[in-house]
Structure 1
Amino acid sequence: MTAPTPTTPPFRDTALPFAKRIDDLLSRLTLDEKTRLLHQFAPAVERLGIAAFRTGQEALHGVAWMGPATVFPQAVGLGATWNEELVRRVGEAVSREARAMRARDERVGLNVWAPTVNLLRHPLWGRNEEGYSEDPKLTSAIATAYTHGLRGDHPVYWRTAPVLKHWLAHNNETDRDTSSSSVRPRVLHEYDLRAFREAVEAGAVAGVMPAYNLVNGRPNHVSPYLREQLRSWTGEELLVCSDAGAPSNLVDSEHYFDTHEEATAAALRAGVDSFTDHGTDSSKIIGRVKGALEQGLLTEADIDAAVRRQLSVRFRLGEFDPGADPYAGEQPFDTPEHRALALEAAEQAVVLLKNDGLLPLAPDTRVAVVGLLADECKLDWYSGSLIHRSTPLEGLYERFGADRVEFAEGVDRVLLRTSTGAFLHVPPASAAPGEARGAEGALDPALLAGRTDLPPLTSGEEGTELALADWGGGVLTLRAPDGRYLSVAEDGYVRASADQPGGWVVQETFRLEPHGDGHLLRHVGTGRHVQVAADGVKVAGEEPEVFELVVVERGEDAVARAAAGADVVVVVAGNDPHINGRETQDRTTLRLPAQQEALLGAARAANPHTVLALVSAYPYAVDPADLPAVLWTAHGGQAAGTALARVLAGDVSPAGRLPQTWYADDADLPDLLDYDVIGSRQTYLYFEGTPLFPFGHGLSYASFSYGGLTARVEDGTVRAGLAVTNTGAVTADEVAQLYVRAADPSVPRPRRELLAHRRVTLAPGETAELSFVLPLSAFAFRDVAAGRWRVEPGAYELLAGASSEDVRVRATLTLEGEPAVPRPVVERGLDAADFDEESGTVIVDRTRTAGDSVTAVAGKEGELLFRGCDFGSGVTRVTADVSGEGTVEFSLADGPVLASLSTRVPTAGPYDYTTLRASCAAVDGVHDVRVRLRGPLRLARAGFSG
């Protein structure tokens, strides 16, 4: 503790509470100094001894972008463990490494931007790898565990300060900075907000990051929900950090404001506290803030509120109390414990989807391991650099012995012949002066990416055989025999200069485009074709080369040869996290790439004992009918290969469970931009089709029985219990899952909804008695008629089992609840967005700062249905608050039109409302009301009177 002295300012006095210390520090900062703190890279205030501070350190599954670090499974893989205690330990390890790395490099930040709690609503979302689950309950449970690990367990000081991403309703990369998610109130509260809320209420979250997209027509960076929802959930000061470049998007791409001064002021007033924009150059943001102050758009109090929240995080991180910070001396990094934890997490993330008895493999099995990912340990955009790595091939070598494992990558081996008859040639790599070579004389792969000093490709009589991998959609990578990927540097030359595809703009992908009797080779990153010039091969806008593709060996042939001589074939298929599905790029299909389907077919034809091991950031639609065994794991970090091999060998019984529905076909999916999970029946909560594999699914090498499900209401909670017994022959984990279904709901409710889960380890014959204490709020839904949560009275069925569809035991519980009451439309009117059902409409912003309106989809007639509207003793007049132009028509759902109101002239703008009035046919009592919208008209609210 810092003992106060006459010269010690109060903000340095550890005996004072943080709030008083922040008050003192704020009072000492000038307006100019406070303004400069608003940018991501806040400068030092040397006169007060305050260091520079940077918000933002990526730490999704390990410390990212700062060099070597322990790499854990992708977030979706951590979600697949269904194990909060494991994930808490992973978060703790990541936070320890962040502290250790910061001790060596002050660029490493302690305000970590993780985890991502966006729900995995749609499996084609490019960033599927970053989320935990499609279910808000599971997502919040895993996120809470991770943030507790990141925060640390000290009651005052935090090891790191986690920020949740990305607020709000963000599941598309396509047009992500201009698209709007239409989210009705029930979906907003029951689905999208819920994952954030439960994590924030758990007390280990330092803040949130708004998403690029708009919600109901309003950019998330000026969302009123930051104030109305987020900051009402906790008494802690929460830091809101903008996403990179998003403040400028408010003007530049979204055109939501006319000037950057208006936009910056609006974001700050809405609750954004730190502006991530223009990289390290803070001048533009600071200039905009000062301009907003001069124009009266901001006050110093607005800036104080933002700076206070920033300082609150910095105080909690111990920045101002180096002598009292309990984490200041910690420097554990790449420890044996962290390596063991990475392996444990990778093992627990493996999901056994199907097994007809082929697995586990016997110790003397001769294994052929084939496929594009068989000898790969892939990283993604938010990974650190690998210190250790294991591929499936390496793991199987280690487990079964190299003499019992055959390998075939399955890529096509090709030559590219030019129109003159010459072949593309890859010059050998030569080390630059002072660079060390590896044990076999090869360049260290880490030194290759982005280099321009290597010689470009040439053409000649002797060509270089290239490994061609097709990752789907015609996107290819080409690799030299020594493992170097063809890449294009800033100077436009094609070199073999990358150890893996990667980067914000991937420079290692190409397309072969049919042209006459040959092909053009287009570089995806630049969009230009490859040209063979006298000074080397490069990309250019003119005179592209026409290549003949000479196939030296087909990948299927190599796979078939390896498969034919093995007892069991393991086909390792999946994705490269930097290609065809990643940040900035959504997928277009659930199907495996055609080349990988062909390899799987070749293996299966050569050997019926074929295991499909999918290593991917997202689900695939595969036909498992003729496959005896199928597994899935996310990219598992540094221990991925060892973990997979140990599961295949039976050293570990798999117990991962799917964190999202695996659909059988693209036709089962809604439009990517349809965020109404209720209306379009999305996720396991509402999906009425037959999934390929259901939410929560996962098999084991043991078997388990369930029994004794009980449930009772006690002290304002529901207490449930059940017994799970290992009836198998091996010790294994089981993930017991408890769901609920409202027996006779008055509104659409989930088919079943996860209430709780427990992952337990059981020896053969062992029984675990599991108990769950559930708040009554877990049974509530958002009543849009009343504008609040409500537990509906009646029967609820509790369902327990091994997945959302594998229900083993049931029990019925009756809750008293709160009966529904009709909408008091005479007293309260109808807010347009509080509909019960809709068709052909979207929700839009009522004003730039708050509220919702509803409009018809362009070119369509929109319709809204409001159930149970109480007209009392009778009404004869109707009003409608509208903007734009068009017609709004009211009718009883079971009767004639009551009134039709039209604008005579368009209003001045979308936020300029006028009230339309009309007489209507007399109506009394309770009725369902149908509202039709025609034309580009926005309806905010309707009223009824006598």
Structure 2
Amino acid sequence: MPGKRAGSPPSDALTAARFAANFEALRSTSSEETHEAPAPHRRTTPCPTPRTETRGSPLDERVKDLVSRLELAEKIALLHQHAPAIPRLGLAAHVTGTEALHGVSWLGEATSFPQAVGLGASWNRELLRRVGEAVGTEVRAFHERPPREGRSAPVSLNVWAPVVNPLRHPLWGRNEEGYAEDPLLTAELATAFTRGLRGDHPVYWRTAPTLKHFLGYNNENDRTSTSGDLRPRVLNEYELPCYRGPVEAGAVAAVMPSYNLVNGRPAHVSPLIADELRKWRGGDGLLVCSDAEAPSNLVAAQRWYPDHATGHAAALRAGVDSFTDHGTDSPVTVGRLTEALERGLISEADIDAAVSRRLALRIMVGELDPELDPYAATGQEVIACADHRAPAREAARQAVVLLRNEGDLLPLPADARIAVVGPLGDDVLRDWYSGSLPYRVTLLDALRERLGAEAVTYTDGLDRIALRSTSTGGYLSTSADGLLAATGHQVGPAEQFAVQDWGQGVTTLQAHDGRYLTKDDYGILAATAGHPDEWVVQETFRLERGEDGRVRIQHLGSGHWVAVAAGSGAVTTYAPSRELAEPFVVRTVSAGAEAASRIAAEADVVIVVAGNDPHINGRETEDRADLALPPQQEELLRAARAANPRTVLALVSSYPYAVDWADREVPAVLWTAHGGQEGGRALADVLLGEHSPAGRLPQTWYRAGQQLPDLLDYDIIANRSTYLYLEDEPLYPFGHGLSYTSFRYGELAAVLDGSEAVVTLGIANSGARDGAEVVQLYSHALDSRVPTPLRRLQDFQRVELAAGEERVLTFRVPVAALGHWDVAHGRWTTDPGRYTLWAGASSADLRSTAELTLTGPAPEPRPALRSPVLARDFDASSGVRLVDRTPAEGEAVASQALGQLLFQDTDFGSGATSVTLTVARTAPGGASVEIHVGGAVTTAPVPPTGGRHAWTDVTVDLTEPVSGVQDLRLTLRGELRLAEIAFAG
């Protein structure tokens, strides 16, 4: 679920007024700032164990009976996210969607676990299951509370988590929400988390997990109007496995489509919902919940349909069951669907199918069987209880990845004098989907708790400035209530502001008491914000120095500029342009880098804590621009390193950075995601050696200047991206992570056992400390006829070993997992030939090798005479996009100027003499398709057809007859679409 509490539309889909009104309505009923005070937390109380009774009647019978008793208007009303009560049938008001990505969000204090990418760094299935169980238990407790003011339904047991979009590109703004760039690791961790959310009862579910976001969603900028190309191999080998694994494991109740378009068609009307999701084992009953405002986007942002009744009808027919649209204002959706029914765009059977899936979910979570529901007795004492604090601490520990440790600088000795540098060293930051932390422990807190306050010095390393107004002559000053006025006559504490540079010209300003400058609803500036924490961030500014040497300040949330009111000196954002902004003279009161150098020089070890605020420069609706550390943080790091060579860089961030200089010059580098309530203690545990790090990178960290594919280029095979295809050496490879001990790998043995390869490996802790190793098993097809991954993760085991302990591990790899999607025949295939298996500590640290040889018939060539060749099923391409064949189904390729398609090993049998192309085009002028085969070229002119979906067949004789197996190449010249190529003898 994006953005706003319980249903956030993308900003480009709504007018500003509607967006703000909808946001405030939702925030007023579900944000932690305004929610009623939670029940007292007895954190020493263990979490209770649910009862285990079961019920009788089969689910499908109960659903069918309920649907038969519903009136048509009642059924339509059940399709909105906020469904009304139907008392005569015992149905209470119901809502879909509770955000719980790494803890319960927006409902008040709840246990806060590390960000999802940090959980991914654990590579620990069992840990993810325990985290899911804790989160699901707390959702149950919130569900048992009376409905919030303004809502008729209790907190939903339909949990909108986890996010399983693979972390294909490190600049994606929502990088923090996914688990890994690898589909197998993503699927395995998502399965574990959803199993925890679901519970172990054979009938009733603790909560009903929802996978997000289906499909091909890795960009935020213009996310509702951009299309990702997923050619069949990328779709079936990379994207779909992330969803299929948890669905077929039986732990998923729902799926949410994504905002974007896939192959030219909005994801909310994708035929893949019916053709893939609901055809998988256990997928037929999946509830499909729309993302917020996405049904309206089909008309508003995407202009896919002429009116909302048509768009809603198409979404319902495609498989959307619950419409998250217009917040709590369900009559809008009900009216559109009613109109669609009256116009014959949908049938009552379409409505019944959607209602049935929603009712089934409600029965599964025990809503209609409160006396039998084993989780119904969950009490308020479980929220943030002691039993949940332990997995939060352990998850935060396992999220820490040791990237570099030259000279064994870490762990730090207990008597070390430590300097902590950087504002993140004494802060715990949340992201948009974090809950309200029951407590915060910063790294500085934790170190002083262990070592004593006198052993740990600290500076945030921020410059302090004073800003003098040229119109009043006074300095900006904060009053006791935080209001700003340009009335200060000398620079004291109230006139000083700490400036934090987050990169890309984005800064925050903090008053002397640590409060952030922010804008209120009237455009007045005041230092009253605890942290940036709004859908539209109000605490960020751009300080722009002009030719006159003076600085003008732009408030980025509104786009307006800072002005000073005549007379009162009040500071506002009333200036609509830079020309009308107040010019300020900037006086530097103290330099942060100098303070960092000073305390670094006096310490035994300096820890520079750098990273991001998850609300700034990379978040939902905003992709990052680059991989660089903010310049101010880079300056701090270099200053500390120059003053003290015993420097540790601790990165606390939602995504990777290109820290090449640090990798060369700083002896120890760690990374962890924002770790929630226990993040500071967990990082201190690792730094001080109380926990030997075993976190492993869940995605590739690239070098500065290393070529990244375009954010919208999803073809990882062609662009050679992710660890699967990357040929250049990255900064830190996928799966990388060091330890305080060492591990010895024995020989790898692999034998075939029916449809599986059984792989065994001896592993030993050869160091002096206990520790955990994440043993990773990779494969590579040596004799593949098509490009396949250079290495592909096939399995992994996290194993705890005492010093000197040895163990034999066994992996069972399905033979099919060694294969690939065969575009020539539209199926999964595993070719005969040799396959290498590697075991190692990362995708680049492969220590033991074995080889398998698979036998069987040679791959069949692509048939060209028995059936048409689909243009989308190419082996390689350039200059083309994948597009929709019709608004509802099918795919084609499109060329704007010059496109190339390659179809390898095409079988023309005894001979082909003509070819028929299924084409469409709207542009006037000349266009053609050249058919290159057998050394001859045949040109087929393509006339305008009257529209992009107006398909026609163009038949031409081949210049020369062609027979046998040969490569087929097509050159598309001009603007055109091509769907099929059919050869005839």
Range class of TM-score, shorter chain: over 0.9
Q: Within 5 A, what are the aligned runs for 1:530-929?
A: 530-533=562-565, 534-535=567-568, 536-542=570-576, 543-623=580-660, 624-856=663-895, 858=896, 860-884=897-921, 887-892=927-932, 895-897=935-937, 899-904=938-943, 906-920=944-958, 921-929=960-968
Unpaired stretches in structure 2, ≥5 consecutive residues: 1-53, 148-153
Shift of 1:936: 1.8
Q: Which residue of the partner structure matches residue 401 of structure 1?
A: 452
Deviation at 1:708, TM superposition (A): 2.4
| Displacement after TM superposition at 1:104 (Å) | 2.2
Partner amino acid for 1:299?
S
Q: In the alignment, is residue 280 of structure 1 matched against residue 319 of structure 2?
A: no
**Is the 2:933–2:962 contact (alpha carbons within 8 Å) kept by the matching residues of 1?**
no
Structure 2 match to 1:931: 970
Aligned to 1:354: 404
State the Cα distance separating 1:105 from its structure 2 match: 4.2
C-alpha contact (below 8 Å) 2:930/2:972 kept by paired residues = no
Measure, in 1, the Cα distance between the counterparts of 2:699 and 2:535. 27
| 1:421 is aligned to 2:469 | no
Map of 1:119-518 to 2, 5 A cutoff?
A: 119-235=166-282, 236-331=284-379, 332-356=382-406, 357-419=408-470, 420-429=472-481, 455-463=483-491, 464-515=495-546, 516-518=548-550
Match of 1:65 among 102, 106, 129: 106
* Residues 406 and 926 (structure 1), Cα distance of their counterparts in 2 relative to 1, 3 Å cut: same
Structure 2 letter corresponding to 1:478: L
546, 552, 557: which one aligns with 1:520: 552
Where does structure 1 lack aligned partners over 5 or more consecutive residues? 1-12, 430-453
Residue identity matched to 1:174: N
Q: Is the 8 A contact 1:399 1:646 kept in 2?
A: no
Report how far residue 828 of structure 1 moved.
1.2
**Offset from partner CA, 1:797-827 (integer Å, 9 cap, x none):** 0000100010110000111245211111011
Q: Find the aligned partners of 1:514 and 1:412 in 2 and give their Cα distance.
A: 16
Write out per-residue CA displacement over residues 560-609 of structure 1, whole angstroms, 9 at most, x where no aligned residue: 01101000000000000000000000001001000000000000000000
Q: What's the CA shift for 1:776?
A: 1.6
Between the aligned partners of 2:970 and 2:556, the Cα distance in structure 1 is: 48
Q: Quick check: 2:122–2:395 contact (8 Å CA) kept in 1?
A: yes
Q: Give the letter aligned to residue 355 of structure 1.
A: N
| 2:65 matches 1:24 | yes
Contact kept in structure 1, 2:601 and 2:644, CA below 8 Å: yes
Look up the equivalent residue of 1:86 and give its one-letter code: L
Is this contact kept in 1: 2:215–2:257, CA < 8 A?
yes
CA deviations on 1:710-745 (whole Å, 9 max, x unpaired) are 101113211001011000001000000000011121
Aligned equivalents of 2:485, 2:339: Cα separation in 1: 52
Q: What is residue 77 of structure 2 aligned with on the other side?
A: 36
Q: Which residue of 2 aligns with 1:101?
A: 142
CA distance in 1, matches of 2:884, 2:687: 53
Deviations 1:740-766 (Å, cap 9, x if unpaired)? 011121000000000000001101110
Q: Could you tell me which amino acid in structure 1 is paired with residue 549 of structure 2?
A: D
With the length of structure 1 as denominator, give the TM-score of the two structures: 0.95
Given that residues 790 and 817 in structure 1 are in contact (C-alpha distance below 8 angstroms), is that contact kept between their aligned partners in structure 2?
no
Amino acid at match of 1:167: F
Q: TM-score w.r.t. structure 2 length?
A: 0.91
SS across alignment from 1:88: helix
Contact 1:590–1:666 (CA under 8 A) maintained in structure 2 = no
Deviation at 1:99, TM superposition (A): 0.8
Q: How many residues align?
A: 906
Alpha-carbon distance between aligned partners in 1 of 2:57 and 2:137, rounded to the nearest angstrom: 28
**In the TM superposition, what is the alpha-carbon distance from 1:666 to its structure 2 partner?**
4.1
Partner of residue 4, structure 1 = none
Q: Shift in Å at residue 399 of structure 1? A: 1.9
Q: Supply the distance in 1 between the matched residues of 2:245 and 2:159 (Cα, whole angstroms).
A: 19
Percentage of identical aligned residues: 56
* Structure 2 Cα separation of the partners of residues 829 and 47 of structure 1: 56
Q: Is the contact made by 2:469 and 2:486 (CA closer than 8 Å) also made in structure 1?
A: no
Instruction: State the alpha-carbon separation in 2 of the partners of residues 341 and 194 from structure 1.
Output: 28
Stretch deviating more after TM superposition (350-359 or 770-779): 770-779
Which of 460-469 and 391-400 deviates more?
460-469
Residues 462/34 of structure 1: CA separation in 2 closer, same or farther (3 Å cut): farther
* Structure 2 residue matching 1:104: 3-state secondary structure: coil
* Separation in structure 2 between the aligned mates of residue 333 and residue 458 of structure 1, nearest angstrom: 46
Q: Render the CA deviation track for 1:194-220: whole Å, top value 9, x for unaligned.
A: 110111101000011000000000000
Q: SS of the residue aligned with 2:237?
A: helix
- Larger deviation, residues 276-285 vs 665-674: 665-674
Aligned AA (1:505):
V
Give the CA deviation at 1:486.
0.4
CA gap of 1:893–1:622, structure 2 versus 1, over 3 A, is farther
Counterpart in the other structure of 2:129: 88
Deviation at 1:873, TM superposition (A): 1.1
**Match of 2:835, SS?**
strand
Contact 2:468-2:486 within 8 A present in 1 as well: no
Q: Is the 8 A contact 1:661 1:683 kept in 2?
A: yes
Structure 2 SS opposite 1:940: strand
What's 1:432 paired with? none
SS in 2 for 1:394: helix
Could you give the per-residue CA deviations for residues 625-671 of structure 1, whole angstroms, max 9, x where no partner exists? 01110000000111000000110000000000000000002432110
Measured after TM superposition, the shift of residue 455 of structure 1 is 3.9
Conserved in 1, the CA contact under 8 Å of 2:271 and 2:318?
Answer: yes
Q: Residues 55 and 203 of structure 2 are in contact (CA less than 8 Å); yes or no, is this contact kept in structure 1?
A: no
Matched, 1:76 2:117: yes
CA distance in 2, matches of 1:15, 1:498: 53
1:774 counterpart SS class? strand
Rounded Cα–Cα distance in structure 2 between residues aligned with 1:894 and 1:150: 58
AA of the residue aligned to 1:635: H
1:16 CA displacement: 1.5
